[in-house]
Amino acid sequence: MVVRFSQYGTWYPIDDGYGEFLERTMPGAFRNTIANDGAPKVLFNHGNDATIGRQILGVPSLIEDRADGPYMEVPLFPGMPDLIVSGLRAGAYGSSFMFEVVRDSWVEIPKPSAHNPDGIPERTIHEVRLFEAGPVTWPANPDATAGLRAVARPSSTSTGGIGRAERQRRIDALRARIADWERESEVEAV
């Protein structure tokens, strides 16, 4: 899965406990957190989905602070519900992120402009600490996306996958253990 969760410079409306305002994230806002805090958790709908809850979708194999915003590749764990995979494949989801603001600036009473015709307060985020990012049904930032690409899928040659021979070896070992347990149960029952 490819996640682009905060496209730089894009204004988008926020309506939360502080009221309604416009928000944007500036280039470099994720640089320190990516370098120092490691990969974020990857959840669907911030872990609030009724089907999969707070189950992690995968572990990022790549996360970069690019010129237009953070970019993340995440090989999905096996067993992902078909509805989520199909939605990612169709580009039906946006993306979002959970974060703590390290540094921001506000314009409380901006002049009306093309991006803000009503002159509501504007928040510019300069630096964040990232905790989680992933696909969501309703992204705050309309330019934030999540979708599938062939390179983001697990394979036997990726570090996250196992080869066919190893998979078969594990299956055979499990079958042997089950057969042993069944034999032990028969002996105990006699």
Output the tens digit of pLDDT for each of the chain's 190 residues: 999 988 899 999 998 877 899 999 999 999 999 999 989 999 999 999 888 899 999 999 999 999 999 999 999 999 888 888 998 999 899 999 999 999 999 999 999 999 999 999 999 999 999 999 999 999 888 888 998 865 344 444 444 445 667 667 777 766 777 777 677 766 555 5
54 and 79 belong to one structural domain: yes
| Angle subtended at Cα 132 by Cα 127 and Cα 133, rounded to the nearest 5 degrees | 90
Amino acid at 48: N
Q: What is the reported pTM?
A: 0.71
122 and 185 belong to one structural domain: no
141 and 177 belong to one structural domain: no
Is 154 within 8 Å of 161 (Cβ atoms)?
yes
Is 93 within 8 Å of 146 (Cβ atoms)?
yes
108 and 169 belong to one structural domain: no
Task: Give CA–CA dist 184/113, Å, rounded.
Answer: 77
Q: Domain containing 181: what range?
A: 160-190
84 and 178 belong to one structural domain: no
21 and 113 belong to one structural domain: yes
Task: Give CA–CA dist 93/115, Å, rounded.
Answer: 24
Number of folded domains in the chain?
2
189 and 131 belong to one structural domain: no
SS3 content of the chain, % helix, strand, coil (to 5): 25, 35, 40
179 and 138 belong to one structural domain: no
26 and 93 belong to one structural domain: yes
Is 96 within 8 Å of 70 (Cβ atoms)?
no
